[in-house]
Structure 1
């Protein structure tokens, strides 16, 4: 399996793509830490020295050079502010650009993978992984500068403390190391499990919400609203408990860092020995900022568990895709299903009782489900050896259960053929689906919004919009699953007349599933689908029978 198709590989690619921004963010973080340490240390030395100069008398006060320290303090303040700006802007820009590129890559990898893997994910779970889990990866980019900030803070504070006393510098570095080790231990013990639980609980919450939302009409009809609310509350409570645990872990990290700061200040003051008071003040204050430079690392550790769990959850849904497989060479793209051969512009009808496997058979053929070796051949090649992505390109499918976007008519049609931007092409497809008059009646026309899953349309209108979308795709075979279900007889007849004309014009092959006589009249050959997906020709029977 190609590692570049795993989430770690995708992250590595995006990290490399954002290398320049991440370097600037790391440089900005180092400047912030070093400037903050020097600023506070110099300020402590300057204030203390100025106080002693004032106590020494007017002559000492007049000879005290306050211009140079003041200028350096102002410079350090500017550097700290500028460094913080560079760190935040570059770090977040790198994270946002990486995430923006990761989502389509992840979606395309999932879509190209084995159908069984994609079908194992509910819409809510998949949404949680592609939205919240990908968002959690931002910390892997934003917090990359934390180590550089810590290193710069440790070096600058250690050197400044050494000016007061070499022992003070050594003590400060030792306390900083102990503080970082304690933060790591707290993170592994408390923050990491809570972060992992947050990601898992969020996925479960999204999954439950999506399932209950899909069943909302039935839940209201049967008076199960309160039960549904309790189900969501239970899932949300699990997520809330995890967030509380993570906040508690953050609190312990803050307590440990405060304890480290107190210990550093106290021990450094003791280690300065006989140093002057201004130098002692310098050492004490750089100890404060030295420990503070580890704050970014502590924050990264707090979020590390969630990020690692997000990486694992995303990696679990990536298979690395399928190999490109064998490409059919037969220009007619003949189909051989269970030994029955057909090639465009043939029209095949599949009949049989409900539950016999008609839809499943078509989904296996078109790459929406796994297909077994020997079950079908496409263009002379065993369908199981053709990658699902390549197989799907050969079929334009109007499924029995129509799925529509919460967008405009134009946006929903464009799903089948993004290149079909001209209105004439879109209106032609709507005319063939007998839906053009309905869309023209709306003031917005093609830009009319249809609501979540087309709720502003009737059931028949939703089905015809799905049909129009399938007609827009240029594929050798057109697959229609119950295309006229829910339509009145007059509309059904008009749709069939239009479809007949379109098939004659395009030369597409047709695979049709229907329990109704009018659609079956389009077919030249009927096959009965028996239990187990076996095909049996309907002997002595015309398609219209």
Structure 2
């Protein structure tokens, strides 16, 4: 679903609250016009009555107009509160569904689109651009108020003659027409503000993520200069936008002044109280156009925000989606791998092993026809289908700022504690977690700051174990581990694979882990070696049935195998 269709659907879903907001806005406008007009008449008439002497002053009815003024003031206040409550309720309700929809679009969009977004830019889309859409919902009640103000203002100024009414409506219409013409020509400053805001967020996120390295190399001043430059560009764009806003504000003030002056002059023959009524009614009628004028000020920023969001939704909608393959057999560079195979992804450093792993997860584009999953081209499978096939341990072992339990449940939000502890045991991390103050409920901090590098990597491995996927996709799971822990991880990994029957694609520098593999796949496009363990099991290549002694022999004599160097 594209953004425009999504917004249209949300407007329909929130139509009752939007209608309530519109009715309240109309009531605010009517009460405001009547209040100001009646106040002008009342003050002028009271002043004339007082100046005419004691008899006229005593005969003047003060109670009824003052009571009406108080009533209109109460109605306006209550209606304004109702309008804000209903319009913001509709906006927040729509955003509560829009942001998850945008996040889903990010996850299924083609890698070429998603990888072009940095962390700060993605945050700008999820926060800044969506907030601009919120502003659209909040302002939807504005036209209701303008129409109601025009109707009530026209009725009141008509009491003074049709010329006063026509002059008032002409002033309001002229101001709105000129503003509409300006809005099309003055969009660029608003667009520039939205772009500069996203660029600043991207700069701050990028530099903030490297804060430790920047301090170590004494580059704080360089980083500060980059952020300052991005901030200056935003300030410059905001200054141009403020100049545009000043034009519209001046137009608004001029429209109010002209409407009031023309109504006053054209109704002078009707007497001072009626002329005051007409002038203030005309002024309030013109003032009611303020919400539409402010919407035109923000037109460029809103159009840019919607265009940026629409790009993501269109990319996600255009991405081909196919069902997940019925079986988990792989055909890689015309080499077949049965489910349960253990494959060492080999190749020299920089040949693209990690990129290929990320391609299997839909994080990068894959070459069509290179990898088949269950007879289907992996390049045509949706990211969700690929991620149901592979459980991933990334090279950087990224963790949530949450508890151990939170990080494990990324793989399975319904996982029981028994399954969690089993996964931690298989990753040789259960003793570490038991020693933490609250065990599974221990807060780990930003990116697992409470754990060491090797512990973070093992927690990432345990998370992959929890995923219900036919293949494990492990990218350097042994980095940061000492020899004893790496050997323990390898033994438990071997036992788990034997128990579950899962397949494994492994990238690793550690011989103790690469020795678990019985097949090789060269990521650099060269021909892979024959099966490492073809003689260990009757019936052809495969890991099942291999004796642990064979693994130890290959680990002790790496010359007989191709290692997973990369």
Contact 1:398 1:466 in 2 (8 A): yes
1:300 aligns to 2:295 (yes or no): yes
**Structure 1 moving runs of 4+ over 6 Å:** 539-543
* SS of corresponding position for 2:505: strand
Partner residue, 1:381? 376
Counterpart CA distance in 1 for 2:457 and 2:324 is: 32
2:272 is the alignment partner of 1:277:
yes
Q: Can you give the 5+ residue segments of structure 2 that lack an aligned partner in the other structure?
A: 535-550, 559-566
Separation (CA, whole Å) in 2 of partners of 1:286 and 1:357: 73
User: What is the alpha-carbon distance in structure 2 between the residues aligned to residue 446 and residue 326 of structure 1?
Assistant: 35
Choose the corresponding residue for 2:326, options 326, 329, 338.
329
Q: 1:435 to 1:390 in 2, by over 3 A?
A: same
1:472-483 counterparts in 2 under 5 A?
472-483=466-477
1:316 equivalent in structure 2: 311
Deviations 1:224-279 (A, max 9, x none): 11011000100011111222222332233222212222211211111114112111
Asked if residue 85 in structure 1 is aligned to residue 63 in structure 2, the reply is no
1:107 aligns with 2:103: yes
Show the counterpart of 1:509: 503
1:361 pairs, out of 356, 361, 366, with 356
How far 1:59 sits from its partner (Å)? 4.7
Is 2:90 the partner of 1:118? no
* Residues 334 and 342, structure 1, Cα contact 8 Å, conserved in 2: yes
1:14 counterpart = 2:4:
no
Residue range with higher mean Cα deviation, 289-298 or 376-385? 376-385
Residue 169, structure 1, aligned to residue 161, structure 2: no
Question: Which shows bigger deviation, 381-390 or 234-243?
Answer: 381-390
Q: What is the aligned counterpart of 2:343 among 348, 364, 379?
A: 348
TM-score by length of 1: 0.93
TM score, norm. by length of structure 2: 0.90
Superposed counterparts of 1:130-529, under 5 Å: 130-190=126-186, 192-318=187-313, 319-321=315-317, 322-330=319-327, 333-420=328-415, 422-529=416-523
1:139–1:303 CA contact under 8 A, matched in 2: no
Conserved? CA contact 2:28–2:145, under 8 Å: yes
| CA distance in structure 2 between the partners assigned to 1:382 and 1:197 by the alignment | 42
C-alpha distance in 2, partners of 1:241/1:441?
A: 54
Q: Give the Cα separation in 1 of the matches to 2:503 and 2:532.
A: 23
Tell whether the 8 Å contact from 1:165 to 1:273 is kept in structure 2 after alignment: no
Determine the C-alpha separation between the residues in 2 that align with 1:499 and 1:35. Answer: 74
Q: Partners in 2 of 1:244 and 1:325 — Cα distance?
A: 49
| Ranges in structure 1 where 5+ consecutive residues have no aligned partner | none
Aligned length: 535
Secondary structure at the aligned position of 2:316 is classed as: coil
Per-residue displacement from partner, 1:401-439 (whole Å, max 9, x unpaired)?
22222222222222111222x333222222221222222
After superposition, the CA RMSD in angstroms is 2.0
Matched, 1:41 2:37: yes
Distance 1:539 1:425, change over 3 A: closer
- Deviation of the 1:474 alpha carbon: 0.6
